[in-house]
Amino acid sequence: MLILQQWRRRLVNSELNEKTFWDSYAKHYDRLLRKLSGVYGIIREKALELTFDYSVVLEAGTGTGDIAFAVSGKALSVEACDLSPAMIHIAEQKHKKSGSGNLRFSVCDCCEMNYPDMTFDLVIVSNVLHVIPDPEAALTEASRVLKPDGVIFAPTYLHGENLISKFFSRIMSLKGFRAYSRWSRSSLQCFLIDRGFKVMEMPVIKGTIPLGMAVLKKGDVTEVV
């Protein structure tokens, strides 16, 4: 019991530290997206490809709303949430200018969301799983709110893919940007399969830290496309 209490205390402290970090980083976030415009352009294109007309979409860990705005032009409705109030504040300011009537932002933890079961056709968890203390909880919640035939899109930076990515991941952690999970493509694949997901595809975008473009469904899997 004592060990469990200590683990929960460490997890809560980690979540508070993450919230503080992302709040402090919010005003710089859009500038980072502009620097990574090539990669984020690929993510947006894939998110749009997975969004069909009249679909109900959730983006958990939306940041300042870049992907949510992109898919809102195609989806029936979009819910976008983030743990950081500062991120959501910026997203809402952008929302007022955009006039997107089918898009709503809110502050919430992707590991403990208030949405009803089986609500969404598409759940986007973009660049989230590797930067949170409990990625399994986030996936459990994403699965809970996903419709039975729905899709989870989880682009994830592969900090453990090779020696270069491992090196730069350590450097980034010294600057406050911590990756809790340093997966390679194969270890992320195993992580997802072990938790009951069917990995429909996971192409890797090359870079200093490669990006695994995981597309998931509920169910078992024997191979990855």
CB–CB of 176/126 below 8 Å?
no
pLDDT band at 37 (very low <50, low <70, confident <90, very high): low
CB–CB of 72/184 below 8 Å?
no
Residue the block writes with tokens 């984020």: 40
Residue-level pLDDT at 98: 81
Alpha helices (H) along 36-182? 37-50, 66-72, 85-98, 135-145, 163-174
Domain limits, the chain: 2-218
pTM of the predicted model as reported, rounded to 2 decimal places: 0.83
pLDDT digits (tens, 9 = 90+) for 85-124: 988 999 999 898 887 789 999 999 999 999 999 999 999 9
Residue-level pLDDT at 23: 58
Residue the block writes with tokens 């060990």: 3
15 residue type, one letter: E
Residue-level pLDDT at 21: 57
Structure tokens at 176: 């406050």
The contacts of residue 45 (CB under 8 Å, 6+ apart) are none
CB–CB of 167/139 below 8 Å?
no
Closest CA to 143 of 211, 30, 79, 219: 219
How high does pLDDT run on average in the chain?
A: 84
The C-alpha atoms of residue 114 and residue 45 are separated, in whole angstroms, by 28
Structure tokens at 174: 């010294």
The C-alpha atoms of residue 79 and residue 114 are separated, in whole angstroms, by 12
Q: CATH for 2-218? A: 3.40.50.150
What angle (nearest 5°) sits at the alpha carbon of residue 136, between those of residues 148 and 133?
Answer: 145
The C-alpha atoms of residue 57 and residue 75 are separated, in whole angstroms, by 7
Residue-level pLDDT at 100: 77
Structure tokens at 43: 């993510």
Structure tokens at 30: 């859009």
